[in-house]
Amino acid sequence: MNYNWNWGIFWDQTPDATGTYFGSLMSGLQVTILLALCAWFIAFVMGSLIGIMRTLPARWAVFVGNAYIEMFRNIPLLVQLFIWFFVIPELLPGDLGIWIKQLRNGPFIAAMLGLGFYMSSRVAAQITAGINALPKGQRMAGTAIGLTTWQTYRYILLPLAYRIIFPPLTSEFLNTIKNTAPALTIGVLELTARARSMQEFSFQVFEAFSAAAAIYLVLSAVVTIVMRMIEKRLAIPGFSGGK
């Protein structure tokens, strides 16, 4: 292989003289984590709302929930990011649009919204599945002891449902981390973007991308381990979520 390997490159200064290439990758990692957490917050909140709506007795709620899921699930993430970043500010009234476009964190915010809503449709599907997996008796028991619909959800259904779907939610969170990478197309300097720019300046293509790959591997391993620990602590003996 006629390629000049240089693993020492990580300790070289970047052209912007703000630190080493390693430091630049680490700052990319920070952005990746921050973006994943912010997007996950949106995904979790919106996903829960929509997921719960789809289990309500009201038919309009089910319809709205289904429409929401279909909309965000059937358009590629990249297209959704472009719409949040390029299209939506154009459709807003003049000054507001310009104000949004000139936000310094514009790309980050667009990526957060795009990724958050995209993932929320997947979270919603999981939540619905979790609630529907509970024995019907649970909901009836709630009604029987005089709880309102809201109380039934709050005290009976949701605590059980979230435990059941904890493992799939963990994997959706891991997907959220991976799906931060397409944000580089709208100018977010996350980990893959940092690796790409390291490659451009240092010409060390494979060192840059393998380092980024290794960081993603470690990140997903750490998240998986932490989630397993949380899952164990949350487990209720006798329920399928806990074994």
Partner 1 sequence: MFSNFDYDVIWRSLPYLFQQGMVFTLTLTAIATVFGLILGTLIAMMRLSSSAVLSGFAVSYVNLMRSLPLVLVIFLFYFLMPYVGQWIIRADQPVQVGAYASTIVTFTLFEAAYFSEIMRAGIQSVPRGQVMAGYAIGLNYREVMRHVVLPQAFRNMLPVIFTQTIVLFQDTSLVYVLSITDFLGAASKVAQRDGRLTEMYLFAALVYFVICFTASFFVKRLQKRISIIR
Partner 2 sequence: MKRIFLLGTMIAAAVCTTQAGAQELTGTLKKIKDTGAITIGFRDSSVPFSYLDDNQKPVGFAMDICYKIVDAVKKELKNDKIEVKLNPVTSATRIPLIANGTVDLECGSTTNNADRQKQVAFTNTHFLTASRFVSKKASKLDKIDDLKGKSVVSTSGTTNIKQLTEANAARNLGINVIPAKDHAEAFLMVETDRAVAFVMDDILLASLAAGARDPSAYVISKDAFSKAEPYGIMLRKDDAPFKKVVDAATAELYKSPEGAKIYDKWFTQKIPPKGLNLNVPMGAEQKKAFASPSDSPDPDAYAAN
Interacting residues of 212 by C-beta distance below 8 A, sequence separation 6+: 25, 28, 191, 192, 194, 195
Give the DSSP per-residue string, 137-183: HHHHHHHHTT--HHHIIIIIIHHHHHHHTHHHHHHHHHHHHHTTGGG
Of 97 and 167, which CB lies nearer to partner 2 in the complex structure?
A: 97
Lookup: tokens for 117:
């809503």
Distance spanning both ends of the chain, measured CA to CA: 51
The whole-angstrom separation of Cα 141 and Cα 81 is 44
Binding partner selected for residue 159 from partner 1, partner 2, none, CB under the kind-specific 5 to 8 Å limit: none
CB of 220 to partner 2, least distance (A): 25
Q: Which of 5, 6, 11, 15 binds partner 2 (CB under 8 A)?
A: 15
- The answer to the question of residue 74 lying near partner 2 (CB under 8 A) is no
- Burial tier of 211 (Cβ tally within 10 Å: 0-12, 13-18, 19+): buried
Of 160 and 215, which CB lies nearer to partner 1 in the complex structure?
A: 215
CB of 186 to partner 2, least distance (A): 9
- Taking residues 193 to 222 in sequence order and writing x for each that binds partner 2 by CB under 8 A, - otherwise, the string is x--xx-xxx-x-x-----------------
Q: Which of 59, 90, 95, 137 binds partner 1 (CB under 8 A)?
A: 90
The whole-angstrom separation of Cα 83 and Cα 77 is 10
Q: Is 20 helix (H, G, I), strand (E, B) or coil?
A: strand
The whole-angstrom separation of Cα 123 and Cα 79 is 20
Which part of the chain contacts partner 2 (CB under 8 A), choosing from 73-81, 98-106, 143-151, 234-242? 98-106
The whole-angstrom separation of Cα 222 and Cα 89 is 37
CB of 30 to partner 2, least distance (A): 16
The whole-angstrom separation of Cα 211 and Cα 196 is 11
Q: Do the beta carbons of residue 223 and residue 174 sit within 8 Å?
A: yes
Q: Which of 86, 132, 154, 229 binds partner 2 (CB under 8 A)?
A: 86
Of 74 and 102, which CB lies nearer to partner 1 in the complex structure?
A: 74
The whole-angstrom separation of Cα 70 and Cα 53 is 14
- Taking residues 200 to 229 in sequence order and writing x for each that binds partner 1 by CB under 8 A, - otherwise, the string is -----xx--xx-xx--xx--xx--------
CB of 22 to partner 1, least distance (A): 17
Q: Which residues bind partner 1 (CB under 8 A)?
A: 1-3, 70-71, 73-80, 82-83, 86-87, 90-91, 174, 178-182, 184-185, 192, 195-196, 205-206, 209-210, 212-213, 216-217, 220-221
Q: Which residues bind partner 2 (CB under 8 A)?
A: 3, 14-18, 86, 89-90, 98, 101-102, 104, 106-107, 185, 187, 189, 193, 196-197, 199-201, 203, 205
